[in-house]
Amino acid sequence: EVQLVESGGDLVQPGGSLRLSCAVSGFTFSNLYMNWVRQAPGKGLEWVGRTKNKANSYTTEYAASVKGRFTISRDDSKNSVYLQMNSLETEDTAVYYCATEGSSPGPDFDHWGQGTLVTVSS
């Protein structure tokens, strides 16, 4: 059974840092591209970024809104992907989802986690 489980969401002050984790099972994780997508309260979906697989040099790509502040990494030995968030702003308050990327080019997010809530507030 395919399962993605995010963790690490918390209340953090503006300017602070937080690391989210996403554990994946039911897949050959090392072959996957992994994405992070967020959703601010009552708002729509926003692509945050992705990491490609080893065959594609673990290349990472980010949305302009988080570039330079957020870093996506992965540990294939632990079937996990991470989102390191620094210099957090109130606008980063959102539910953060990890999602697997299917075989079609583009935002082909075929499996999602349940999400983890990040609240940035003083």
Partner 1 sequence: QSVLTQPPSASGTPGQRVTISCSGSSSNIGNNYVYWYQQLPGTAPKLLIYRNNQRPSGVPDRFSGSKSGTSASLAISGLRSEDEADYYCAAWDDSLSGGVFGGGTKLTVL
The residues binding partner 1 (CB under 8 A) are 35, 37, 44-47, 49-50, 61-64, 97, 102, 104-110, 112-115
CB of 17 to partner 1, least distance (A): 23
Amino acid 85 reads M
Q: Which two tokens stand for residue 31?
A: 């072959």
CB of 94 to partner 1, least distance (A): 13
CB of 10 to partner 1, least distance (A): 19
Our CB check for partner 1 shows the closer of 13 and 114 to be: 114
Our CB check for partner 1 shows the closer of 16 and 115 to be: 115
Asked whether the beta carbons of 38 and 114 are under 8 A apart, the reply is no
Q: What residue has token string 């082909």?
A: 108
Our CB check for partner 1 shows the closer of 55 and 64 to be: 64
Our CB check for partner 1 shows the closer of 44 and 68 to be: 44
Distance of alpha carbon 44 from its chain centroid, rounded? Answer: 16
- Cα separation, 83 vs 13, in Å, equals 17
CB of 13 to partner 1, least distance (A): 27
Asked whether the beta carbons of 69 and 85 are under 8 A apart, the reply is yes
Sign of CA dihedral 41, 104, 2, 28: negative
